[in-house]
Amino acid sequence: MGVYLNPGNSDFMEVLGSKYVDKTGLIGLINNSINTKSKLICVSRPRRFGKSYAAQMLCAYYDRTCDSHDLFSGLEISSDQTYEKHLNQYDVIYIDLTGIKPYADDFKTLIPFLKKNISEEIRESYPDVRLRNELPGTLVEAVKDSARKFIMIIDEWDAPIRENPETQQEYLEFLRSLFKNSGVTPKVFAAVYMTGILPIKKDGSQSAISDFEEFTMISPRTYANYVGFTENEVRNLCEEKKGNFALMKQWYDGYRFKGTGSVYNPNSVMKAANYNDFAAYWTETSAAEGFMKYISMDYNGLSKTIAELIGGIDVPVNTVGFANDLVTFKNRDDVLTLLIHLGYLAYDSENKTAHIPNEEIRLEFQRAIRGVDHEATFKRLMECDQLFLDTIHGNEEAVAKQIEKIHMEETHPLKYNREDSLRSVIKLAYYTYKDHYLQIEELPSGDGFADVLYLPITKDYPALLIELKWDKSAEGAIDQILQKHYPSALENYGSDILLVGIYYNKDAPVVERKHSCRITKYNMAQT
């Protein structure tokens, strides 16, 4: 048993010692790819989405130097038809690149470090193997000697590209020598599994290691069930731990993939279940600093897009041109694509849009936006904060003026009167609501108007029910609100609500569509 060659099953044994959500079905997918043209696999997921657990599981399953029958007995893979055929049958090379970083001079000496240490462990296992000057040649000799191919597992494969871009060219050439080499790849590897945060780095428009099958947050395909916890897995966990499934969904759901449905952040779900406390477990100070840098970038339309995302609006994104690193950005789409891979945004592959997935991430956006060093963003924040104050204090003229400004600046003329556009105007105008409010949209609606409810987090603020209309006066908007049956969210509210009606004339020329506002206090205790 070595550090890099055949590390054994002790790491996975520790994983099983805690509450384990069975993800061994992943092994069956890899087994089906062994010794085929699809045997090179790269799976990218955000940090703390179980990448290392998966790598340790694969080591325990494939490593020939241990017997893992007891570990996998009763788990999903044990009933797979490929189970016995591949269990503990291979020499495994396991490389955790983040763990190597301190010993490789910030990845500057990574290649000679790997060559030296892996070659030495091969010599210990196979004393008669002839060591070559380069690692690929040594691996070829080892396979000749043992008549056994390798399974290679690389955890955090993209760490050198993320953390020291200056080393990436040498590193990519090293990967090519292993995995894009007709004299090495088919002879040496039964399968390769790489996992990291970013997809494979592009050289121009093509992947630098083009033979890999890639499964990403944008297109996880058959690996979607293994990105995080599925809804059934979270529901079962909540039943076992007597946890609140509705809150778990609100806090950690939001990633959805075709054929799989909802996918949850596994790290946060486990901590919330174990501590019986819902909080932002996923975010870290170091990551947040990089996050603020990305959302502060001065690309056309990015400031508006961040405001739309925080306001709960889905935004279009073109993910095709992203270079798969942390330094090469051409436009706002590249920034949004990176945020999808990092897990800060969820991607809707059918509509090609992105959105903030859940409460945990929304809080991070709300916190980070206050520290963004960007003039347009700062101005938008100040305007939004002032709009809340004007609304609460009944400054009708100021509210009408600001809503009119947002409506004119942010809505395409052809979509000016559409219900979804009207609702987006409200959400964009009040997009810092998370400081003091919860946003609720499931309200009665109809042709010619849209409304959004903001419920206060504390008793210090009144509830706000804001309706934007084009078919009646501001007073008529208030009347419309009063005539509605209030949704269940308001039935037992029992305190003041500010009814905010905003009106404009849709038949007037666009430049003359002056908005007016009426704000009325209403006490739900009277209903």
Cβ atoms < 10 Å from Cβ of 380:
21
Query: Domain map of the chain by residue range?
Result: 10-215, 229-275, 285-369, 381-526
Strand ranges (DSSP E) for 67-222?
A: 91-96, 150-155, 189-196, 202-203, 206-207, 213-215
Where does residue 312 fall: left (phi above 0), alpha (psi -120 to 50 degrees), or beta otherwise?
left
- Please tell me whether residue 40 adopts helix, strand or coil conformation: strand
Does pTM surpass 0.75?
yes
Query: How high is the pLDDT of residue 453?
Result: 85
The span from the CA of 418 to the CA of 155, in Å, is 48
DSSP assigned state of 349: T
- CATH of 10-215 among 3.40.390, 2.170.130, 3.90.920, 3.40.50: 3.40.50
Rg value, the chain, Cα = 27
Burial of 494 (0-12, 13-18, 19+ CB in 10 A): exposed
Query: How high is the pLDDT of residue 415?
Result: 62
Q: pLDDT tens per residue, the chain (527 residues)?
A: 789 999 999 999 999 987 889 999 999 999 999 999 999 999 999 988 999 999 999 999 999 999 999 999 999 999 999 999 999 999 999 999 999 999 999 999 999 999 999 999 999 999 999 999 999 999 999 999 999 999 999 999 999 999 999 999 999 999 999 999 999 999 999 999 999 999 998 776 567 788 999 999 999 999 999 999 999 999 999 999 899 999 999 999 989 999 999 999 999 999 999 999 998 888 754 555 578 888 888 888 888 888 889 888 899 999 998 999 898 999 999 999 999 999 999 999 999 999 999 989 988 888 887 777 667 777 888 888 899 999 999 999 999 999 988 888 876 654 656 767 778 888 888 888 877 888 887 555 444 445 788 888 887 888 888 888 776 666 666 666 666 654 445 666 667 788 888 888 777 766 667 888 989 887 765 55
Query: How high is the pLDDT of residue 448?
Result: 43
- Please tell me whether residue 202 adopts helix, strand or coil conformation: strand
The span from the CA of 51 to the CA of 48, in Å, is 7
| Tokens linked to 346 | 């969820």
Query: How high is the pLDDT of residue 494?
Result: 64
